[in-house]
Structure 1
Amino acid sequence: MPTIAYFGPRGTFTEQAARGFDDAAELVAYPTIPLAVAALRAGEADFACVPVENSVEGSVSATMDALAAGEPVVAVAEHVLPIRFSVLVRPGTAAADVRTVASHPHALAQVQRWLAEHLPGAQQVTAGSTAAAAVGVAEGAHDAAVTAPVAARHYPLAELATGVADEGDALTRFLLLAKPGALPAPTGADRTSVFAVVAHRPGELAALLTEFALRGVNLSRIESRPLRDRFGEYRFYLDLDGHVAEARVGDALAALHRRSQLVRFLGSYPRADRVGTAAPQAGTDTDFAESARWLAGLRQGEHA
């Protein structure tokens, strides 16, 4: 039975996502994202499940930084969850009794309108996770917690409300991480993730992006995070459509490696939405193979 380390404690959306990857796996909660990834690196778990981006609040910086530091790990799958919250209280607590409401900052940001309407007088308190907020309510530190619905299964709390969300289509994307090894086979609906550090000169980022455009590789996400030891300089995280096994994607990544000071491959894996990532005209593996044969012929003196 595989073991999945995940960002806990029990009752988080990350636990829900981990069960979506493998409901039969043994799940082990860790109090922070870096510790969950460290457990994978140390061999304490076969996989790690971490959130990477939210459609309302954007990227999860702790995950991006954890992927950049330490021994390489790679994503082998992704899972997307619709985000709907439950507001949990101690049994017998009414809305009028709530003076403090706690949750992770990302969760609080996604229920601001609901809180203003239903708990307008409650002080908002940040917690390390939605489940940690539930623990705080159970221990009497807070009156209410904005949590993942699964938290109600783990803690002796009552639902004041459920299905809570300011944005009806809010989503969070999670990655299943593993140590480097054999990659998932291409499916025709794949995503590849990398980060790169480029020279701090005018035009370097534009030149980097051009390498993908010239090969018909679509970038679905590009974000930056500061280099901690080089103030004013950044690493760029890229999600692109396609699999590293595809000629056009491999060629683009090779060009990225030539142009960059550092490149780290973060995985090629099936997209959760299963949307196809077909190569454009003249960008198929067959096109690249024929071009390579033609070039080899030229180098051998065949000019037909």
Structure 2
Amino acid sequence: MNDPHETTEAHLKRLLGRALNSFDLPDTTVERLDSALAHASSLHSSHHSGSLDRATYRHTYLLSDGSALTLWELVHSTGPRGGVEQHELYTEESEVRLAASRLPAGFPGFADTDEPGGIAPSPFPPPRADDGPAWSSGRPEAARPGPTGPSDDPDADFALLADLIAAPPAALPRMYAPDDSADHARRVLRRAENADRPGEKTARLLRSSFAHHITQVSARQCLVGGKDAGFTLYEHAFLLLDGAEISLWEVEHTATPDGRHMCEVYLSEHAAREAMELRARVR
């Protein structure tokens, strides 16, 4: 929160220094922040449970040209005693919601939004957002239970995941939002770890994208190899300058030996669902 004795320069240095993904911020954003004259921070939402502590903060900066720039900070820790606190920074509210939905403990359903260009609504109640101006403090979101966790029966968990993979996604209208979509596509492709991820040809096509829409298609936890694992499927749809549309299908999962998050990206939904099924079968 705000410290009346901390300068805006010191606040920014501290914020960028502790963020795990500060290198992922667009260069233009970092350059604009160099001219920040004042700042205000507010708690936007929070969620606390036995296995997850999560909060998001909105940091708004007044720049020398009279404009304002906002950074969204995700602060989270997992484990029965809170674990180690980690910080992430994003330039859009939709991105911080997406990042929060990927946290492993129960997938608390934080990726839902009704805003155009945001993520498709999830089946869980929407979070409360503060309705004050950018320079005032927000009200924390009420803690809500997440979806039901894994059962003790691995076969039952796998059956549920198989049903989820087989079920077609609900038809949702795409509402493209003009944004720094080419940079978003670059970041999605850069974090993909699968060997058969889209190559340079796709990357070149996406450099001409000027709008995009993110949809959370599915999310589920189950037991893989006797350990909790979370699977989430996203569609990143891009609108190109020539009117064409292209989608990247992103699989986020924790079915890794050490339980860390892994990102895989595919050009088709079928390939993405096959990858999810393969990961779920590895025991």
Q: TM > 0.5 between the two?
A: no
Larger Rg: 1
TM class by shorter chain equals under 0.3
Considering fraction of residues, name the structure with more helix.
Answer: 1
Between the two structures, name the one with larger relative contact order (CA 8 Å, sep ≥ 6).
Answer: 1
TM-score normalised to the size of structure 2?
Answer: 0.26
